[in-house]
């Protein structure tokens, strides 16, 4: 029987150190043969390390003296009411803090909790790389698009932004919180860079409206179309980014209409 192909679940488990022993040889062989998969696993491990660095110190924090003092106080007439009151308070506090602290802790760890924030941080990570900003260069655009389409499981396209002064640099596969993401990078004559990130969205409402956000100084123009999320990111002014975003949307819509059904 031929071995099963390596899936995204296999890659995530391998990055987390949880891959079954019988799957490890196949996964490692796939990583040796595909630099994009190896980079994807490395990205996941970097995010895991950021989470550990942010959260592990909490496990060794000293209990505040005021809490120790409170625990040593003699019981009062409210003692009988404390267990049910404490249970109710902990339930409410746990739900509230758990929901809001989740985003706070993940953001402190460098892990984005929204598509726009993730797109901005990913843009900064790769756009600032002078030596290897992309995995496949624009000279191999056809191979790049074919490879990313295969990895994402649907057809992706690299829009032509030469009319607005930005030429394709290349692209790569990056790790996402939910699904792998295709990244296309563009650069103008002033060495300003833009990235277009594309990924399949998880289950949820179809938010088709165009949105604009600024995350850590990076403008992000993003939208969802046909269950795919798109984010155009760059350190350019809002008007310019929205103009380019509309151009990207138009080209992608035209490509989708021209695709065989």
Rounded CA separation 48/110 (Å): 10
Q: Is residue 7 part of a domain?
A: no
pLDDT computed for residue 235 by the predictor:
95
Residue 232 to residue 241: CA distance in whole angstroms: 8
User: Is 185 inside a domain boundary?
Assistant: yes
Q: Does any domain span residue 207?
A: yes
**What range does the domain containing 142 cover?**
115-258
The domain that holds 222 is classified in CATH as: 3.30.200.100
Q: Give me 54's structure tokens.
A: 């942010």
Angle at 146 between CA 133 and CA 154, to 5 degrees: 105
Residue 240 lies in a domain: yes
pTM of the entire predicted model: 0.60
pLDDT tens by residue, the chain, 261 residues: 456 677 777 887 888 888 898 889 988 998 898 887 888 888 778 777 766 665 556 555 566 666 666 666 665 554 555 555 555 554 444 443 443 344 444 344 444 458 888 899 999 999 999 889 999 999 999 999 999 999 999 999 999 999 999 999 999 999 866 679 999 999 999 999 999 999 998 665 555 578 889 888 899 999 988 889 999 999 999 999 999 999 999 999 898 888 776
* Residue at 170 is within a domain: yes
Q: Reading across the β-sheet that carries 228-234, which strands appear in turn? A: 136-137, 167-174, 181-187, 193-200, 228-234, 218-225, 211-215
Determine if residue 227 is left, alpha or beta; phi over 0 gives left, psi from -120 to 50 gives alpha, anything else beta. Answer: left
Please indicate, yes or no, if residue 29 is contained in any of the structural domains: no
Residue 2 domain-assigned (yes or no): no
How many domains is the chain partitioned into structurally?
1
- Residue 61: the pLDDT is 59
SS3 call for 184: strand
């Amino acid at each position: 029987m031929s071995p099963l192909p390596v899936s995204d679940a296999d890659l995530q488990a391998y990055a987390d150190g949880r891959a079954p022993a019988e799957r490890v040889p196949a996964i490692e062989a796939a990583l040796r043969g595909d630099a994009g998969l190896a980079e994807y696993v490395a990205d996941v491990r970097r995010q895991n390390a950021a989470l550990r660095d942010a959260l592990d110190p909490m496990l060794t924090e000293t209990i505040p003296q005021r809490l120790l003092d409170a625990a040593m106080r003699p019981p009062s007439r409210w003692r009988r009411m404390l267990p049910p009151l404490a249970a109710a308070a902990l339930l409410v506090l746990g739900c509230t803090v758990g929901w809001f602290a989740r985003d706070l802790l993940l953001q402190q760890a460098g892990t984005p909790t929204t598509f726009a924030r993730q797109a901005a941080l990913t843009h900064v990570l790769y756009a600032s790389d002078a030596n290897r900003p992309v995995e496949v260069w624009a000279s191999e655009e056809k191979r790049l698009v074919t490879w990313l389409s295969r990895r994402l499981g649907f057809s992706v396209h690299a829009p032509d932004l030469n009319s607005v002064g930005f030429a394709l640099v290349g692209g790569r596969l990056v790790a996402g919180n939910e699904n792998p993401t295709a990244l296309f990078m563009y650069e103008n004559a002033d060495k300003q860079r833009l990235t277009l990130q594309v990924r399949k969205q998880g289950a949820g409402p179809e938010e088709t409206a165009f949105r604009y956000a600024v995350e850590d100084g990076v403008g992000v123009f993003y939208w969802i179309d046909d269950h795919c999320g798109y984010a155009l990111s760059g350190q350019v002014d809002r008007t310019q980014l929205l103009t380019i975003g509309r151009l990207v949307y138009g080209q992608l819509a035209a490509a989708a209409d021209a695709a065989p059904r």
